[in-house]
Structure 1
């Protein structure tokens, strides 16, 4: 299974670069990275088991670095891996007081 994400700052209408992201399966840290200039982060190309996974985005430090007060110090997206051979792309649309996500392609 491969996992990637794309974070967009929905207030500015731009990619959110520089956000730390961690990928977990249960309590096990599988991978970590930082969103690039385009707001993208490919976390793993390694195979992993089916089951529940979490992406944890360090949004608090990212907003603080921009001098923006925000409600969510981190965003945790929990998703089910049903087909370990498939690519899983999990985008995050981010604002200081809201966020949204979906299963990407």
Structure 2
């Protein structure tokens, strides 16, 4: 099986996929930008971030531009925003399917008031 890397972003405040969220994948060893994508209507990117010959073991980072996403969707964010650029660092060791899921909300507190 060839290795691949995918992601999926959900906007928990709106209860839907985070469509239109920009993200950037970098290789940490040299800082090379390997992918710049925008999530589709399902909160995913249209193709794997890494796959086949582009897939290599190593350390990586995805930066999710959540603040820009919320602002573009009319959310008024405080300064500083609870979530703005969200970096997630991870390692890929074997040629298998790796998946980076992300749940985002512009709020740093729970609005749930249950007992």
Listed as ranges, the gaps of 5+ residues in structure 2 are 109-115
Worse-superposed segment, 44-53 or 57-66 = 44-53
Which blocks of at least 5 consecutive residues in structure 1 are unaligned? 99-105
CA distance in 2, matches of 1:65, 1:12: 14
- CA RMSD in angstroms, aligned pairs only: 1.4
| Corresponding position: 1:5 with 2:16 | no
TM-score of the superposition, structure 1-length normalised? 0.83
Q: Hey, what does 2:87 align to over in structure 1?
A: 76
- How far apart in 1 are the matches of 2:51 and 2:58? 17
Shift of 1:49: 2.4
1:21 to 23, 27, 49: 23
- Greater strand proportion: 1
Structure 1 segments of 4+ aligned residues over 6 angstroms from their partners: none
SS of structure 2 residue aligned to 1:11: coil
State the match for 2:68 in structure 1. 61
Larger Rg: 2
The corresponding residue for 1:87 is 97
